Structures are given as structure tokens and as C-alpha cells.
Amino acid sequence: MKTTFSRVALSGAVFLAAAPVNAGWIQSLGMSEQCIAVGGACVAKEGDFAAFYHNPAAATSFKSTVVGGNLRSLDTTHVTLKDSGGSHSIDDTNTEGQVAIAPTFAVYTPISQEITLGLGIGAPFAITADWENDDGIHRFNMSDQSLFVIELSPNLAYKINDKLSLGLSFNIVALKQLRTESLIPLSFGAALPPALGGAGAIIPTTADSPVIGSISTSTDGAVGLGIPPDEFETSFEEFSFTLGMQYQATDRLRLGAVYRSQTDMSFSGDLKLDLNPAGLGEQTVGYDLAFDMPGHIQVGAEYELIPNKLAWSIDSQWTNWASADGIGSTTKFEFDAPLLGFINDLQVDYEANNTMTFRTGLEYKLNDRITLMAGYVFDESIFDDQYVDILVYDSDRNIFSLGLSYDLRANTNESGWIWTAGMQITDYKDRKIEVGESQNLGGFSLPNLLDADTLSFSANRDTFEYGGAIWAFGMSVQYNFGD
């Protein structure tokens, strides 16, 4: 009996740990409220402290040393989930009961009239959420999930002449974290072949399926930053680069372009199986996973509709999801020891599409101190129905943003503080996955042995609908030291 339960739990548990998280990447949302508030349409705008990410060439606009930072909180409690058992809610946007925060910090200093050096720290890719798991079939997916990538980015900006500036950021992955926690339904065991202790029966997981335990994954290392999520794996061996350009075409029109390369990444850590609810103890194995962060190209323009009063910016971004391992191709967890004595890896088939994102924003100077901002983004869905997973929570998105900046710089050398507050609503288009449409639907799917030592899964046996919104709130502060 214990052997059968172990096989059932491990087969289901390994799958539940496999799928990545994609519910609103920080990469899509921005790093400073000045940029976020205009919908991220800022590759052609004058630089702020997040120039190392948005466009490193924009740092040539700094006439003196600049220091700045940003804190953002995410709220996923407005996301909607519905299956045959009814509607289900999101519990908290929390990690271990604390608010998740995505920080940014940067410093720049001009070393000549042409060259500016900078250093930025930020999270270009991040999401965290704690999903309600008291009832509903969704509880058999990741109820507590977190993916954070924190980069250290040296920045070089060079002003070729009064019109053209170039910039380069070298993005070094300093800290990273991938964590999941899921419940395990007993009904997974029914689909296993009799040789593995199952009945070979096709019985779908339901909201009432008994829970026999949980599975959790965590990355190696325990570097704490004092803010949630607190524990990270160190890296410093993975990197990308960002190339930027700005061109002042006329007194009122500035053009910009950015290329960010793909970040080739891997995660390693432990998978912990807790079968204590079934009276079967615990088991831990190690895993390795290749999981890349995508590159993108973004081009845009800013035009002053009313000089020094009202500016309109518009950008277009192409993101190369299809080339990223683990997103654009099969996700493959490789184990350091065979599970059940013969399973050496698990694969989940993903095939992301490259996407286009449209961004636009307005910036209006109410007076010398106060600037009002608004923005809109349309972001395409990444996955076709065949590859949709509840965990990636993927659909077309409409993103709306508002912001207000208060400039305390008063003297002729422009030294002083700039404070900016903003909010953002990412509205997900309602999406319904019918029975049999997706092979990656977590608790819906059934175990399937592709070959002698690889575990995969069959198509979903229940419908699933999702939509709703993710809210984000942030505060930026920047200090210009002046001449």
C-alpha cells in the first residue's frame, strides 16, 4: 500500500512542480514609475534612474550625479478562476504571509560631457502569488509560487553629438529564486498502469479528490535580502546585454531603440514530497532545470505636442519567447536520482509564440512641480490553447497606468528630489480551455509515460476559465546632486 501511494504521489507531484510562472512578468511592467506610468513607452524619453533597463543611452541626459530607487507591490487577488466546480478566489499576493516587493536601485555619474557611467540593480523578471487552495480543482496546481531574477547592471552611455546617443548595459544575474508548493490528489494514481500500482483507469481529478500530501520545490542557496521572497540562489555566471540608442530628430521629436539579449539560465534545487497526510513520510530529490528569460527589441518615439508642456510617446516591443528554453520549448526537469527507481526526468511540452506589445503614454506638466502621466499597453498572449497552463495564466492583456510626479528641484543647478507615485492595472482577457485542448493543465491532467524513463501528461479532462486583473502600486524617488 505504501509503495502504491508513493508512486501515485510522486508521479503527480513531479508534474505539479514542473510548470513555470508567467502571471505578469515585471519585464512587461517596468522598473520605474516614471516609465510605468506612461505604459512603458519610454525608450525615446529623457532618462530617469531606470535608464540601465529601459534605454541605457538615455543616461546621457544626466548633467550631474543621480541616485534613484523604486519599490513595487503586486496584488493578484483580483484574478478570477472558474472550473466545473464553480468560481474560486485568490487568497493573497504574499510570500510566507508578507507582501511581495520588487525593488530597483541605480546610481549614475557623468565622467565627461560625452560619457556617463552607471550601475543598476533590479528585477526584470518576477512574479509571486499565494493561491487559494481550500477547494476547487485549481488547488492541485501551485498554491504558493515565486519566480524572481535580480540583476546587477553596469551601464555606459556615450553622447556622440547633440543629436545621437548610444548606451550599453551588461546585465549580470546576481540572485534568482524559483519556488512552488502544490497539493497532491489521490486520483492521479488511478491513471497509472497496474505495473506501477495504479488501476489504469481514466478518472479525472475533481474538486473533491482526496488530498494525500504536498510537493514543494526550492532553489539552492539561502541569501536573504530582508524583503520577501527572502531566500535566493546566487549566480554571477549568467548574463545578458542591453543596447540602446536615442536620436533627437527635431526640437520636438526624439527617437529611441533598445535590444535586450536572451538570458540563458538554469535552476537547481530540491523537490520535497510531503506524504505525512497519507501517513507515508517525506522524500527529497534534487533537480536541474534550464529555464531562460527572453530577449526583446523595442522601438519608439516621443513628440512634444505642446513644447515643455504635453508630450506623447509611442513604442512597439517584440519579445522572442520562442527561443527561450523552458518557455519556447519543452520544460525538462532532470533528477539526480531515479524516481520510483526508473524515472530520470519529467517533461512538459511548451511552445511559446513570439509576441508584439503596443505601448503609448501621455505626460502633462501641470506646473513647474507637478507632472501627470497616463499610459496604455496591449500585450499579446504567449501560448496557443494546446500549451496553456493554469500556472502560466496566459491571455491577451490590456494594461492601464496612471502616475503623478512631484519635482522638488528648485535652484539653477537642478539639485534636489523627484518623487513619483503610480498604479497599474493589468486586465487579462477571459479565456476558456475546453476539455482535451491543453496537455499542460496541472491537476486536470493524467500521468503518461512517454518512454521507459520520462514522465509526461495527457490532455485536460475538465474545462477551465480564467481572467481578471493584477494590480500594481509603486513609488519612485530620484535625487539629482547638481553641479
Least confident segment among 58-72, 141-155, 186-200:
186-200
Q: Is the pLDDT of residue 169 over 60?
A: yes
Partners of 148 in the β-ladder = 126, 177
So what's the pLDDT on residue 97? 47
Distance CA 138, CA 464 (A): 9
So what's the pLDDT on residue 229? 57
CATH code for position 180:
2.40.160.60
Average pLDDT, the chain: 81
Please give the residue range of the domain that contains residue 176: 2-478
- Is position 133 within any domain? yes
Q: Considering the chain, what percentage of its residues have pLDDT values greater than 70?
A: 75
Residue 475 CA neighbour count, 13 Å, CB half? 3
3-class DSSP state of 366: coil
Helix and strand totals (H; E) in the chain: 4, 28
Task: Specify the pairing of strand 310-319 against strand 223-224.
Answer: unpaired
Residue 356 · residue 320 · CB < 8 Å: no
Distance CA 149, CA 21 (A): 12
Answer with the residue of higher pLDDT: 471 or 318.
318
So what's the pLDDT on residue 265? 93
Query: pLDDT per residue over 336-352, tens digit each?
Result: 887 767 778 877 778 88
For 28, the enclosing helix (H) or strand (E) is helix 26-29
- Is position 363 within any domain? yes
Residue 74 · residue 123 · CB < 8 Å: no
Question: How would DSSP label each residue in 320-358?
Answer: -GGGSTTTTS-EEEEEEEEETTTEEEEEE---PPPEEEE
Q: Is the pLDDT of residue 163 over 60?
A: yes
Q: Is the pLDDT of residue 231 over 90?
A: no
Distance CA 115, CA 191 (A): 64
Amino acid (one-letter) located at 267: F
Distance CA 180, CA 127 (A): 12
Residue for grid cell 501511494: 5
Cell of 145: 509560487
Amino acid (one-letter) located at 89: S
Distance CA 62, CA 109 (A): 8
Partners of 259 in the β-ladder = 243, 297
Residue 278 CA neighbour count, 13 Å, CB half? 25
Query: pLDDT per residue over 349-378, tens digit each?
Result: 788 899 999 999 999 999 989 999 999 999
Q: Is the pLDDT of residue 437 over 70?
A: yes
What's the whole-number mean pLDDT along residues 139-157? 82
- The candidate with the shortest Cα–Cα distance to 30, out of 471, 424, 324, 406, is 424
Strands (E), 136-265: 142-159, 164-185, 211-219, 223-224, 231-234, 239-248, 253-260
Query: pLDDT per residue over 275-316, tens digit each?
Result: 787 676 787 889 898 989 999 999 999 999 999 999 999 999
Residue for grid cell 540593480: 121
As for how many domains the chain has, the answer is: 1
Residue 305 · residue 311 · CB < 8 Å: yes
Q: Considering the chain, what percentage of its residues have pLDDT values greater than 90?
A: 41
Amino acid (one-letter) located at 60: T
Residue 404 · residue 426 · CB < 8 Å: no
Least confident segment among 54-58, 409-413, 443-447:
443-447
Partners of 479 in the β-ladder = 67, 417
Query: pLDDT per residue over 68-103, tens digit each?
Result: 999 877 777 787 877 777 776 666 655 444 455 667
Distance CA 474, CA 483 (A): 29
Partners of 21 in the β-ladder = none
Give the confidence band of 8 by pLDDT, cuts at 50, 70, 90.
very low
Query: pLDDT per residue over 33-67, tens digit each?
Result: 999 999 999 999 998 999 999 999 999 999 999 99
- Is position 229 within any domain? yes
- Is position 483 within any domain? no
CA-to-CA dists, residue 472 to 31, 69, 103, 359, angstroms: 12, 16, 13, 17
Strands (E), 366-396: 370-379
Cell of 285: 530529490
Give the confidence band of 23 by pLDDT, cuts at 50, 70, 90.
very low
